[in-house]
């Protein structure tokens, strides 16, 4: 099979620019997905009145199923990234809402076309008025908004700073909202209020306070509930992330809690995380609360890294005593993140049957949908795709695996055997020995704990590189979220086994915050270069969040590092955060460094640097590649597409998407992507 593939003309092209809005790739040829499949699906929903019709949203866009989830058709690729919810209007199956960090959108043709609604951002979901479907509330990190025109116009409702009469800079986070089932003019909401503290550096940090508030008149006036019992062991209020009201008793409702920082927006002396503590319930409208956590994995007060975050609570409409809790995974990937109670929260059990992969790892759940006609039929969205259950969660089967690939953040192939591929993923990495037809997880790596990926804003990133002079030497770096560096691993047998590098920074006043890029010396497999993020060590004086960059070098395979590349400075005179490093394989004294501002070049082994940006301006380069057959030929992936240089970086021009690339860089074309990677085949 592989010999037949090698008879085709394959091309290696570094044709990606990774940024906050996803991947910009060269539109050329025909791309074929190679996987690995089974990546994240953030949201899904059943259509009202037609429970066989489903919509699901993920990194590849929006897909539709008309047979209950067995078969899928792509509806709208290219939707905004970072989607957190997908909801049908309860009165019209053609009207659909979706949203997240980038805003709220509405479709009136079942998902074929979309209109952005206002300027809302960081939206976590909508609440529909049961008697007036044109009236809806939007929960956002900037407060609770209300619309009486299906989202065409929004108004920000009175917020807790108005209630408390405080002055200063505030921001309200609304994490949960629910309407009274008997009188929907009564609105309950939970979240936190952030009070920003202004210093000589500006608004640098904040004090947070969690709250539960109730409005009797659709948001015109609010009462803050005392919430007795809804506190951490030290008395700090817990932040509510989910609310469910008993339809038979509006004073009885359940609340899920989540982690938040009560003192500072950045890690600093005195900052403290308050962990979520699972599920609580009240029978007097929020005045008094009690835990309902038996069997539910919740945070351990003695362990600040063990979280009991509850993302969602879902009640079975046919049985008020049956609820489901979608929670952040606790510690290991073998722990459940979906729980069920059938006795009103007195006891919970994890739902896992059919969800684990071959290694025993469970997916982390994002959301759960109950079939509108048959509540025992469940649809689960997770970081490994979609799952369906027909028996109330006792058993699960994966569906729609072709909809989304596992996020891939780095890849490398063996030049002696192009069918041997290694990729870096959020959970570690995978290998393929048949050109991407099948994949196996990399063994021997320390696992990234589930809580590192617990929230949508914590993006996991990795890089993987192979030594040109010894393809058996491979380096893998993993990092996730804010201040979550997971280390550098080294393999000397082509990725079969791995050892952790010690990563000691010599003579540094900073803490290692992460490695953005790795490059191995063409002639020495133990000499590696890294573009590093450094965080200032904690001090008693602000600012606390100084981040530096630069390049460090290791001559012992990553065990120790020395600062390297003196003279590399950005336009502000600071060491830049280096996104990509390439070395001329024919002249190893020539280096190129891509930063967010520009491209730099050194011709004396890093002692001196100059900009190489004519034609690029301040576009910068997220990724660089050099043609090994013509080392004056370079490619740069920027936020505006791909540029190339024919003169060693002296000048740059945009690469025409239809242009035929002479002198192919290798016999593979691989596109790195947020949902797997792809091969581009061109016939001879």
129-179 pLDDT tens trace: 999 989 999 999 888 999 999 999 999 887 655 544 444 445 678 889 999
DSSP 358-408: TTSPPPPEEEEEE-SS-TT-EEEEETTEEEEESSTTSS-EEE-GGG-BPPE
Q: Give the mean pLDDT of 546-553.
A: 76
Helices (H) and strands (E) in the chain, counts: 2, 58
Query: Which pLDDT score is estimated for 298?
Result: 57
Strands 92-100 and 83-89: antiparallel
Query: Which pLDDT score is estimated for 668?
Result: 30
Q: Give the mean pLDDT of 529-547.
A: 60
At residue 628 the predicted structure's pLDDT band, cuts being 50, 70 and 90, is: confident
Residues 6+ apart with CB under 8 A from 129: 135, 136, 179, 184
Q: How many other CB atoms sit within 10 Å of the CB of residue 70? A: 12
At residue 470 the predicted structure's pLDDT band, cuts being 50, 70 and 90, is: very high
According to the per-residue pLDDT averaged within each range, which of 413-427, 601-615, 629-643 is highest? 601-615
At residue 246 the predicted structure's pLDDT band, cuts being 50, 70 and 90, is: very high
Start-to-end CA span in the chain (Å):
18
Q: State how far the alpha carbon of 433 is from the alpha carbons of 4, 159, 163, 270, 437, in Å.
A: 16, 57, 62, 50, 8
401 has pLDDT over 80: no
Q: Nearest CA to 178 among 251, 258, 105, 93?
A: 251
- 341 neighbors 291 (Cβ within 8 angstroms): no
Q: Give the mean pLDDT of 529-536.
A: 76
At residue 439 the predicted structure's pLDDT band, cuts being 50, 70 and 90, is: confident
Q: State how far the alpha carbon of 148 is from the alpha carbons of 102, 130, 133, 136, 153, in Å.
A: 22, 13, 9, 7, 8
- 600 neighbors 648 (Cβ within 8 angstroms): no
Higher pLDDT, 365 or 563: 365
- The span from the CA of 210 to the CA of 280, in Å, is 15
- The span from the CA of 653 to the CA of 645, in Å, is 6
Q: Strands, DSSP E only, in 573-669?
A: 578-583, 591-595, 599-602, 610-611, 623-627, 630-638, 641-645, 653-654
- The span from the CA of 29 to the CA of 31, in Å, is 7
Q: Of 25-39, 78-92, 546-560, 668-682, which gets the smallest average pLDDT?
A: 668-682
- 532 neighbors 550 (Cβ within 8 angstroms): yes
Q: What share of the chain is helix, strand, coil (3-state, %, to 5)?
A: 0, 50, 50
Identify the three-state secondary structure at position 666.
coil
**Residues of the chain above pLDDT 90, percent:** 33
509 has pLDDT over 70: no
DSSP 200-265: TTEEEEEEEEEEEEEESSTTSS-EE---BT-B-TTSPBPEEEEEEEETTEEEEEEEEEE-EESS-S
Q: Nearest CA to 383 among 34, 43, 33, 19?
A: 43
Residue 1 tokens, joined = 């099979």
Identify the three-state secondary structure at position 273.
strand
249 has pLDDT over 90: yes
Higher pLDDT, 640 or 537: 640
Residue 561 tokens, joined = 């590092």
Q: State how far the alpha carbon of 228 is from the alpha carbons of 108, 210, 218, 281, in Å.
A: 44, 13, 24, 11
Write phi, then psi, for 45 (nearest 5 degrees). -155, 145
If you search the block for the tokens 């028996």, which residue do you land on? 391
Q: Give the mean pLDDT of 286-291.
A: 90
At residue 193 the predicted structure's pLDDT band, cuts being 50, 70 and 90, is: confident
295: region left, alpha or beta (phi > 0 left; psi from -120 to 50 alpha) = left
If you search the block for the tokens 């394989």, which residue do you land on? 585
Q: Of 69-78, 367-376, 473-482, 573-582, which gets the smallest average pLDDT?
A: 473-482
At residue 305 the predicted structure's pLDDT band, cuts being 50, 70 and 90, is: very low
Q: Nearest CA to 353 among 387, 386, 404?
A: 387
22 has pLDDT over 50: no
Question: What average pLDDT is seen over the chain?
Answer: 77
**Residues of the chain above pLDDT 70, percent:** 72
Identify the three-state secondary structure at position 5.
helix
At residue 60 the predicted structure's pLDDT band, cuts being 50, 70 and 90, is: low
Q: Counting Cβ atoms within 10 Å, is residue 183 exposed (0-12), middle (13-18) or buried (19+)?
A: exposed
User: Sign of torsion, CA 568 574 576 577?
Assistant: positive
Query: Which pLDDT score is estimated for 483?
Result: 38
């Amino acid at each position: 099979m592989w010999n037949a593939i090698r008879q085709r003309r394959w091309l290696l092209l570094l044709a990606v620019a990774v940024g906050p809005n996803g991947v910009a790739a060269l539109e050329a040829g025909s791309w074929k997905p190679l996987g690995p499949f089974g990546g994240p699906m953030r949201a899904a929903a059943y259509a009202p009145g037609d429970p066989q019709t489903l919509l699901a949203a993920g990194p590849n866009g929006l897909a539709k199923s008309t047979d209950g989830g067995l078969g899928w058709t792509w509806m709208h690729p290219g939707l905004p990234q970072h989607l957190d919810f997908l909801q049908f209007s309860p009165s019209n199956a053609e009207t659909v809402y979706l949203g997240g960090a980038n805003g709220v959108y509405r479709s009136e043709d079942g998902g074929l076309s979309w209109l952005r609604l206002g300027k809302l951002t960081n939206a976590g979901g909508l609440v529909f008025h049961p008697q007036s479907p044109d009236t809806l509330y939007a929960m956002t990190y900037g407060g609770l908004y209300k619309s009486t025109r299906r989202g065409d116009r929004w108004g920000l409702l009175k917020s807790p700073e108005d209630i408390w009469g405080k002055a200063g800079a505030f921001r309200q986070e609304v994490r949960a909202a629910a309407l009274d089932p008997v009188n929907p003019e009564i609105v309950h909401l939970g979240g936190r209020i952030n009070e920003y503290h202004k210093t000589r550096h500006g608004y640098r940090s904040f004090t947070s306070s969690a709250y539960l508030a109730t409005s009797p008149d659709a948001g015109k006036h609010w009462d803050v509930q005392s919430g007795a019992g809804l506190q951490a062991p030290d008395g700090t209020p817990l932040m509510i992330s989910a609310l469910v009201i008993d339809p038979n008793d509006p004073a009885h409702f359940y609340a899920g809690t989540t982690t938040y920082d009560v003192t500072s927006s950045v890690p600093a002396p005195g900052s403290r995380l308050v962990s979520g503590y699972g599920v609580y319930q009240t029978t007097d409208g929020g005045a008094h609360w009690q835990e309902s956590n038996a069997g539910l994995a919740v945070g351990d007060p003695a362990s600040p890294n063990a979280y009991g975050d509850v993302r969602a609570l879902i009640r079975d409409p046919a049985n008020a005593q049956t609820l489901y809790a979608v929670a952040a995974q606790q510690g290991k990937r073998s722990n459940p993140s979906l729980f069920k109670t059938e006795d009103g929260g007195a006891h919970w059990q994890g739902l896992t049957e059919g969800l684990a992969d071959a290694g025993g790892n469970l997916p982390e759940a994002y959301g759960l949908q109950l079939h509108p006609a048959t509540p025992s039929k469940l649809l689960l969205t997770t970081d490994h795709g979609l799952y369906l259950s027909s028996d109330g969660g006792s058993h699960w089967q994966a569906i729609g695996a072709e909809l989304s690939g596992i996020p891939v953040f780095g890849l490398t192939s063996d030049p002696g055997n192009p069918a041997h591929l290694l990729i870096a993923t959020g959970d570690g990495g995978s290998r393929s020995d048949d050109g991407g037809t099948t994949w196996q997880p990399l063994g021997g790596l320390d696992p990234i704990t589930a809580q590192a990926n617990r929230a949508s804003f914590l993006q996991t990133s990795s890089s993987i590189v192979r030594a040109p002079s010894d393809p058996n030497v491979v380096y893998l770096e993993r990092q996730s979220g804010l201040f979550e560096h997971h280390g550098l691993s080294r393999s000397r047998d082509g990725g079969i086994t791995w050892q952790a590098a010690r990563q000691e920074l010599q003579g540094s006043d900073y803490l290692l915050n992460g490695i953005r890029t790795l490059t191995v010396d063409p002639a020495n497999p133990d000499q590696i270069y890294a573009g590093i993020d450094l965080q200032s060590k904690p001090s008693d004086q602000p600012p606390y969040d100084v981040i530096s960059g630069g390049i460090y070098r290791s001559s012992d395979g990553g065990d120790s590092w020395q600062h390297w590349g003196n003279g590399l400075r950005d336009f502000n005179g600071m060491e830049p955060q280096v996104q990509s490093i390439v070395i001329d394989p024919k002249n190893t004294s020539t280096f190129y460094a891509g930063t967010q501002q520009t491209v730099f070049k050194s011709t004396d082994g890093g002692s001196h640097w100059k900009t190489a940006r004519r034609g690029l301006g301040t576009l910068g380069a997220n990724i660089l590649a050099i043609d090994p057959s013509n080392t004056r030929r370079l490619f740069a992936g920027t936020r505006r597409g791909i540029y190339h240089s024919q003169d060693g970086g002296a000048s740059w021009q945009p690469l025409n998407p239809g242009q035929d690339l002479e002198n192919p860089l290798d016999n593979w074309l691989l596109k790195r992507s947020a949902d797997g990677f792809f091969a581009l085949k061109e016939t001879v």
